[in-house]
Amino acid sequence: MQTADTRYLCGLGMIKWFKQYGAIGRNAFVVTLGSPFSLILLLSMLAFQALLACLPFFSFGEQLRLIRDQSLALCLMGGCLACALGAGMVLAEDIRRGAAPVVLSRPIGSFCFIAGTWSGLLGSVLVIHLTASVGCLWLTQITASEFHLDVPQLSQFVGVLLVVLVGMGLKHYFFGGSFVWQTNVALSLGFLVVFLANAFHLTGPLADTAAHPVDWKTAQGCLTVFFALVTFSSIMTFLAVLADVGLLLGLAVVVFFGGLLAEYVIRSLAAAPWLTTVLRSLVPNWQLFWVNDRLAEGLAVSPAYLLHSALHAFLYAAAVLIMATLAFQSRELESRV
């Protein structure tokens, strides 16, 4: 009987923990995605992708590789910027204003607060990255021809953007509600629906879409870039506990460029194979998630590599979140003394 009571109490505790985790995550998601900056960032990324589609290429046969490299680099940079500013809004600013101690005055654990905040941040980054990834895949169809631009597809790309903005503006004017985060979600859904309809010949001339197929291998690059954002967002969560927004942005620049140079530095400094493995496991390294060179050679990325990248990213994030929780608890103890 005592064992049954213990299991019952443990079950109630887990349910309560997940409810608190979900509430904190939803709040962080809405706050981050509801920032005007997130909408400006997403619109800028989509506009820059449309500009990339219009640029002339003089290296025939290489336009797919160039578009893929530039688009995925844009996804990585934009996602990292969203992670840094989002962590500053939902964590660094809350700690500076004293909102975090108010939340923890309730029966909420520190890890629940940190993990929920990170999950909401990652969810908002996922929405932005999904929209940018759909745009990246769409560009491979728009620029598939070596001789001319697919103007109808590009017109649909821009048209979806304008229709969603006008529609959400009218919805906000007549019915109210939150404009920014709902527009971000609507852009993601709108781009996804129209792109899939074109990709699978559900709309438009069948001959055009068949002549200009989508390079679906690019989706593997988009997925691995998201794994890099998982790692970067966890690091930003840890740094947001220790620094204010200004310092956090400076550290974000250091981490970003450090991750770009990490592979070169590790290969230059590490002589023993075991040391190379250890450094690659501990140091943020975006080259581990960059598969464009392999895709450019016409090779596919194996499911085992994708699984390994996912495990590395989420286990790394879990370890960093534990460190962030310990740092947060230490900071709270110092503030109470």
12 in a structural domain: no
169 in a structural domain: yes
How many distinct structural domains can be found in the chain?
1
Output the pLDDT for position 63: 76
3 in a structural domain: no
214 in a structural domain: yes
What residues contact residue 273 under an 8 Å CB cut-off, 6+ apart? none
Q: What would you report as the CA-atom Rg of the chain, rounded to the nearest whole angstrom?
A: 22
Residue ranges of alpha helices (H) inside the chain are 2-33, 36-54, 63-87, 93-97, 99-104, 110-142, 151-175, 179-199, 206-211, 218-242, 245-269, 273-282, 292-296, 303-336
7 in a structural domain: no
13 in a structural domain: no
10 in a structural domain: no
11 in a structural domain: no
222: left (phi over 0), alpha (psi -120 to 50) or beta: alpha
Q: Does residue 79 have a pLDDT over 50?
A: yes
Output the pLDDT for position 185: 94
Output the pLDDT for position 167: 93
CA distance 33 to 293: 32
Domain coverage including residue 143: 20-336
- Going by pLDDT thresholds of 50, 70 and 90, the confidence category of residue 209 is very low
Sign of the torsion angle spanned by Cα atoms 292, 293, 298, 303: negative
Q: Does residue 113 have a pLDDT over 80?
A: yes
Q: Does residue 208 have a pLDDT over 60?
A: no
Output the pLDDT for position 38: 93
pLDDT digit string (tens) for 305-318? 999 999 999 999 99
Average pLDDT score, the chain: 84
**What are the C-alpha distances in Å from 283 to residues 72, 217, 277, 321?**
22, 28, 10, 15
pLDDT digit string (tens) for 264-320? 888 887 667 778 888 888 889 998 898 887 887 777 788 899 999 999 999 999 999
- Going by pLDDT thresholds of 50, 70 and 90, the confidence category of residue 192 is very high
- Average pLDDT, integer, range 214-227: 90
- Name the range with the highest mean pLDDT among 70-74, 206-210, 213-217: 70-74
Q: Does residue 207 have a pLDDT over 50?
A: no
Output the pLDDT for position 82: 95
- Going by pLDDT thresholds of 50, 70 and 90, the confidence category of residue 175 is confident
Output the pLDDT for position 92: 83
Output the pLDDT for position 14: 76
Output the pLDDT for position 1: 42
Q: Does residue 100 have a pLDDT over 70?
A: no
Output the pLDDT for position 310: 94
- Average pLDDT, integer, range 160-164: 93
Q: Of residues 94 and 112, which shows the higher confidence score?
A: 112
- Going by pLDDT thresholds of 50, 70 and 90, the confidence category of residue 74 is very high
- Name the range with the highest mean pLDDT among 13-17, 145-149, 308-312: 308-312
Q: Does residue 95 have a pLDDT over 80?
A: no
96: Cα separation from own chain's centroid: 25
What percent of the chain lies above the pLDDT cut of 90? 45
